[in-house]
């Protein structure tokens, strides 16, 4: 049986992705601040030991993310440090460590959760920076790991109905909601379906790709 590790799996998109992978028959380890695999991803130095404890991972979903709904003038050092750690450094460290076993087995799939914030200006500047970073490290790791039989892809969701969006700056959400085709927020399960496909069914030649799940909120 394949094992998946999903970060930020207690709610929102991560929980839906974990449920989708479990329904597909995988053993799913749900990492979050509390719960099954309780871990605070701001502890970058502890990630290698965590992975050692967990064992082999066949599918890694780097979903955990935070957003600070504040403008750059109001950003505190603590907020900046936290968002860079959770959104950027932790997923990079997880891929670095977990991919070693994948390389040995010549198999593994990694899906990173980016955002349309990677492509657009954002009212939370550091959120946009970290999500652009997710697209960047997806491409870099696909290049390093693709020759070893590992697929590294990302999804870039638009506005999805989760607690994170509830806390986002209303002017940004209003702007996005003017553009979506369905006239509603996306559902976590809809993003989870894209994650499940990339994690299990996408053919081997799909690597280093970013699948936009935006409902027209941003089209590139």
DSSP letter, residue 36: T
User: At closest approach, how far in Å is the CB of 54 from ligand NAI?
Assistant: 14
Residues 196, 170 contacting (CB under 8 angstroms): no
**75 catalytic per annotation:** no
Contacts (CB under 6 A) with ligand NAI, residues 110-139: 113, 115
Pick between residue 81 and residue 147 the one whose CB is nearest to ligand NAI.
81
Contacts (CB under 6 A) with ligand NAI, residues 56-95: 63-66, 86
From CA 72, how far away is CA 69, in angstroms rounded?
10
User: At closest approach, how far in Å is the CB of 108 from ligand NAI?
Assistant: 20
> Residue 40, interface with ligand NAI (CB under 6 A)?
yes
Please pick, from the candidates 33, 49, 72, 219, the single residue that binds ligand NAI as defined by CB under 6 A: 33
67 φ/ψ angles, rounded to the nearest 5 degrees: -135, 140
Dihedral sign for Cα atoms in the order 133, 138, 139, 140: positive
CB atoms within 10 A of CB 64: 25
Dihedral sign for Cα atoms in the order 84, 90, 91, 96: positive
Please pick, from the candidates 57, 59, 160, 202, the single residue that binds ligand NAI as defined by CB under 6 A: 160
Pick between residue 75 and residue 103 the one whose CB is nearest to ligand NAI.
75
Residues 12, 162 contacting (CB under 8 angstroms): yes
User: At closest approach, how far in Å is the CB of 211 from ligand NAI?
Assistant: 12
Please pick, from the candidates 5, 18, 28, 41, the single residue that binds ligand NAI as defined by CB under 6 A: 41
Contacts (CB under 6 A) with ligand NAI, residues 165-194: 165
Burial class (CB in 10 A: 0-12, 13-18, 19+), 207: buried
User: At closest approach, how far in Å is the CB of 32 from ligand NAI?
Assistant: 5
Contacts (CB under 6 A) with ligand NAI, residues 137-156: none
Pick between residue 151 and residue 214 the one whose CB is nearest to ligand NAI.
214
Residues 162, 188 contacting (CB under 8 angstroms): yes
In what side-by-side order are the strands of the sheet with 27-32? 37-38, 27-32, 3-7, 59-62, 108-113, 150-157, 210-213
Which stretches of the chain bind ligand NAI, using CB under 6 A?
Answer: 8, 10-14, 32-33, 40-42, 63-66, 86, 113, 115, 157, 159-160, 162-165
Residues noted as catalytic? 127
């Amino acid at each position: 049986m394949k094992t998946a590790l999903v970060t930020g799996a207690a709610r929102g998109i991560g929980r839906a992705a974990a449920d989708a992978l479990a329904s597909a028959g995988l053993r799913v380890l749900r990492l979050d601040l509390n719960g099954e695999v309780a871990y605070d991803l701001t502890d970058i130095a502890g990630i290698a030991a965590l992975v050692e404890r967990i064992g082999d991972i066949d599918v890694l979903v780097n979903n955990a993310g935070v957003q600070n709904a504040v403008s750059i003038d109001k950003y505190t050092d603590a907020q900046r440090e936290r968002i860079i750690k959770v959104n950027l450094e932790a997923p990079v460290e997880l891929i670095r460590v977990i991919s070693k076993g994948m390389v040995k087995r010549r198999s593994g799939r990694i899906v990173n959760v980016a955002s349309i914030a990677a492509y657009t200006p954002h009212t939370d500047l550091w959120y946009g920076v970290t999500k652009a970073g997710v697209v960047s490290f997806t491409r870099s790791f696909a290049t390093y790991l693709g020759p070893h039989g590992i697929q590294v892809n990302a999804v870039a969701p638009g506005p999805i109905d989760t607690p994170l969006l509830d806390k986002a700056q209303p002017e940004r959400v209003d702007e996005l909601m003017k553009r979506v085709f369905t006239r509603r927020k996306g559902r976590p399960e809809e993003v989870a379906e894209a994650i499940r496909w990339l994690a299990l069914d996408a053919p081997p030649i799909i690597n280093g790709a970013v699948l936009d799940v935006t409902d027209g909120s941003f089209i590139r």
